[in-house]
Chains A and B, each alone.
Chain A
Amino acid sequence: MQPDDRMRDRSRLRTSIAPPPWDELREQRVLTRILEQRRAGQVASPSSSRARPVGWALAAACLCAVVALVFLGRGRLFPSSGAVATTSSPPAVSAPASSAGASGSTIALVDGSQVHLLREADVQVEEERPKHVRIAQSHGVVRYEVSHDPSREFTVRAANTTVRVRGTIFTVDVRASSVEVRVERGRVEVDDGARTHELVDGEALEVPNGAAALAAPADAAADDSPTAAVESAATVATPAPAAQAPSVAVGPSAASLQASADAARLSGNNAEAAASLEKLVRLYPSDPRVPNVLFTLGRVERARGNHAASARAFDRCFKAAPAGSLAEDAFAETAVSWSSAGRTAESRAQAGDYLTRWPVGPNAARMRDLLGP
């Protein structure tokens, strides 16, 4: 290849790489963490200089230990997951919710599949071979994006439930008394130990203590449709009275609604984004994402020019988490949106209330502007 061709080739490569999956919600989440650190003084305090000698000593000790372990037991202590053909037990990866930064991390598998640790997730990649991937999920919520490969078996084991897929996106939520599987796209097979159920797009299955309770769209029509097949299987597999079966929300998962909203906003479709965000809050009112979602909804409505709706969303955000990291901004944005909506009385009352609560807050100047001379 000639130099000019190479330059053109690199230029084409540059445009081939997709933009980073960076959205408003992610931006806000990271900003919240940074500001919390700033407020706690962690960022400003130069602890590194004092901690460095201790840190170096610890690092040296760890290094010695690691070197010793590697030379004494390489292969046993750190089983290789890269040697795809021979891997049998790659290391566990866990992300407890309390671990900052770990929640929301992703495990990229060799076959291109991705395992997103959403909340309190604890998973172990038990086997990773070209024809078989096996993951054990013992806790939390994990979203699986499985690359399509009909020749490879991809299974997720969660308590007494096994999920088998070929290529799909689904979420597994392991709770104390049940395991819930939700399918966003594609088709999965769920084995609860007694029966096998097939789930398709938008369907969810909850398996409590060995018996299966099913949630599927209520408008299943023909008996031979996939939904009807799942319903039929559930009837057989659920001997417990309906009243005792745990309730399962029908519809898409919170993660998929959030993803839909993000995608809609990125494509400029704010109406669809607002609908997805509203639906998320309605279906999952106790989800920890709700304050963030309501804040985003406030901004989406503002972008749509619905300033009154924006004010109401910011107000709901504040009320959802009055001591949360977004509370102060949400309170101020409520005042701004009321002002933009022409509701001067509400705006001034809100701005005055803000200045009472946070007289020297970061939004104080804007609030004084709203109050006027």
Chain B
Amino acid sequence: MSARAPFPSHPHPHPSGVVPDDATLVAQALAGNERAFASLYRRYARYVAGVAYRILGSDAELDDVVQEAFCDASNALASLKEGDSFRPWLARITVHRIHKRLARRRRWRWLQGEVTVVAPQVSDPRERARVDALYEQLDTLSADIRVPWMLHFIEGETLPDVARICAVSLATAKRRIAKATARIDGGLHATG
């Protein structure tokens, strides 16, 4: 899924050669070490950008979403109980930001009466129509059901992880995914 990174994910390893784990970096960042926070950022910025890109379907807001997610994370770092769970915690923050963006997009479209569909680039041009059709259906869904569906089927998260990231119960996550699936399949079937 991901392109080969042009540089190592942790470009400034400690002189000893030991790459610190997330918990260590979180602790150092909490103590005011800016470099530790920057290391966390470099480790996960591409992950956050990927999730945002695929769910939003566009790179126009990517910089802002990544910035907002990491600013929120910086702000709330003290509330993170276990440093090891930084990635799912960050995913939750990212999803929260994406929710806001999708809601804003829907509001703006309603005001403008706009029907523009945004879809991401495809690896294989032959898949262009299918991906466009999918995002056309996704754009008809509310963020509440769109995001869990994307996390499960496109991001490959397990159902319990989807529930955790979306901050809902497992039953709710399953129900929302099922609802989205029915709407997407119905829409795709109707449009051929």
Contact = CB atoms under 8 A, between A and B. Distances in A.
Interface in A173-228: none
Interface residues of B, number: 58
Given A14-B1, A31-B42, A363 B35 contact: yes
A144 to B, nearest CB: 15
A34 B64 CA distance: 10
Interface in A4-57: 6, 10, 12-24, 26-27, 29-31, 33-35, 37-39, 43-44, 46
A261 B52 CA distance: 24
Interface string A73-102: 011001111111000001100000000010
A268 B4 contact: yes
B148 to A, nearest CB: 14
B41 interface: yes
A240 interface: no
B34 A80 contact: no
Interface in B19-68: 33-35, 37-38, 41-42, 45-46, 49-50, 52-54, 58-64, 66-67
B191 interface: no
Contacts of B178: none
A108 B41 contact: no
Given A16-B130, A16-B131, A30-B63, A78 B113 contact: yes
A70 B62 contact: no
B80 interface: no
A322 B98 CA distance: 36
Contacts of B82: none
A362 interface: yes
Contacts of A369: 15
Contacts of B185: 1, 6
A33 B66 CA distance: 11
Nearest to B6: A265
B27 to A, nearest CB: 15
A316 interface: no
A77 B45 CA distance: 39
Contacts of A64: none
Nearest to B34: A362
A105 B123 CA distance: 23
Contacts, number: 160
B171 interface: no
Nearest to A79: B112
B116 A105 contact: no
Contact of B6 (A37, A39, A303, A362): A303
A78 B111 CA distance: 7
Given A34-B67, A78-B113, A22 B45 contact: yes
B170 interface: no
A303 B71 CA distance: 29
Nearest to B63: A30
Interface residues of A, number: 64
Contacts of B88: none
B112 A19 contact: no
Given A14-B154, A19-B1, A31-B38, A299 B7 contact: yes
Contact of A18 (B52, B121, B154): B121
Contacts of A30: 45, 63, 66-67, 70
A43 B118 contact: no
Contacts of A252: none
A68 interface: no
A22 B113 contact: no
A104 B63 contact: yes
Contacts of A82: 109, 112-116
A248 interface: no
Contacts of A106: 58-60
A17 B120 contact: yes
Contacts of A90: 112
A354 B186 CA distance: 63
B74 interface: yes
A366 interface: yes
B47 to A, nearest CB: 10
A38 B42 contact: no
Given A16-B131, A300-B6, 11 more contacts: A10-B153, A13-B153, A17-B121, A22-B50, A27-B46, A35-B34, A81-B112, A82-B109, A83-B113, A101-B64, A110-B116
17 contacts: A1-B185, A14-B1, A14-B153, A15-B123, A18-B122, A20-B52, A20-B54, A29-B63, A31-B45, A35-B34, A78-B113, A81-B114, A81-B116, A106-B58, A106-B60, A267-B4, A362-B38
Q: State the 7 A-B residue pairs at the shortest beta-carbon distance, nearest first.
A: A82-B115, A82-B114, A20-B53, A16-B127, A80-B113, A265-B6, A18-B121
